């Protein structure tokens, strides 16, 4: 789901800027089969944190790289396990008074007073913030290197005479 949403975002922008490499990103929080996007109300945000408290959940970020004119696309995702402390309703309310949860998947931001909620993480901290920098650096480097060598991201034919492949 996060990869699909990331590609929808990237495609919408890449059509407006066809010569640019566009990065689309979407982050979801899940616990078991329950998926948490951004809450619509403060009450919903409170219910999300009440559910997540004292548990381990997963933060998954989907990333989509697109070069529209070059007809090139690469998608990937990163997943990080996050374990919350046991929290009381009062602790949840105090957190939400300090941090706006309505623009954050799972109703929290680890970078905004996350130490009040998070007991531990296993994986990429930057992924939990919303952009897996370590993996993006490697994937974007390979994507741009392919563009620079002329094997992708150019119109027409490659140097070997074959047509450029469509978006994969």
Per-residue pLDDT band at 65 (split at 50, 70, 90): very high
Per-residue pLDDT band at 64 (split at 50, 70, 90): very high
| Count of the separate structural domains present in the chain | 1
Q: Average pLDDT of 100-106?
A: 92
- Say whether 26 is catalytic: yes
Asked if the structure places residue 47 within a domain, the reply is yes
Tell me, what CATH number does 118's domain have?
3.90.950.10
Catalytic residue among 26, 81, 90, 103: 26
Task: Supply the range of the domain harboring residue 112.
Answer: 2-149
Judged against a pLDDT cut of 80, whether residue 156 lies above it is answered with: no
Judged against a pLDDT cut of 80, whether residue 89 lies above it is answered with: yes
CA dist 14 and 24 (Å) reads 9
Asked if the structure places residue 142 within a domain, the reply is yes
- Sheet containing 118-122: which strands, arranged edge to edge? 34-36, 21-31, 56-67, 72-84, 118-122
CB 20 within 8 A of CB 1: no
Q: Average pLDDT of 95-122?
A: 93
CA distances from 148 to 136, 143, 145 (A): 18, 9, 5
Virtual torsion, Cα 122, 127, 128, 129, nearest 10 deg? 140
Judged against a pLDDT cut of 60, whether residue 163 lies above it is answered with: no
Percent of the chain with pLDDT over 90: 77
Per-residue pLDDT band at 150 (split at 50, 70, 90): low
Token pair of 15 as six digits: 């059509």
Asked if the structure places residue 155 within a domain, the reply is no
Q: Average pLDDT of 146-168?
A: 50
CA distances from 78 to 22, 26, 47, 92, 112 (A): 18, 11, 26, 27, 21
CB neighbours of residue 125 within 10 Å? 16
CA dist 85 and 15 (Å) reads 44
Predicted confidence at residue 93, as pLDDT, reads 94
């Amino acid at each position: 789901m996060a990869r699909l949403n990331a590609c929808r975002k990237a495609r919408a922008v890449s059509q407006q800027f066809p010569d640019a490499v566009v990065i689309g990103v979407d982050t979801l929080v899940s616990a078991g089969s329950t998926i948490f996007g951004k809450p619509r109300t403060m009450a919903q945000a409170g219910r999300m944190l009440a559910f997540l408290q004292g548990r381990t959940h997963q933060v998954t970020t989907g990333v989509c790289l697109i070069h529209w004119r070059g007809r090139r696309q690469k998608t990937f995702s990163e997943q990080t396990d996050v374990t919350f402390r046991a929290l009381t309703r009062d602790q949840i309310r105090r957190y939400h008074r300090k941090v706006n949860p309505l623009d954050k998947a799972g109703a929290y931001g680890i970078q905004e007073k996350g130490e009040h909620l998070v007991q531990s993480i296993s994986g990429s901290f930057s992924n939990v913030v919303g952009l897996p920098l370590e993996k993006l650096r490697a994937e974007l480097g390979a994507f741009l290197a392919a563009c620079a060598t002329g094997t992708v991201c150019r119109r027409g034919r490659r140097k070997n005479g074959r047509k450029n492949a469509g978006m994969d």
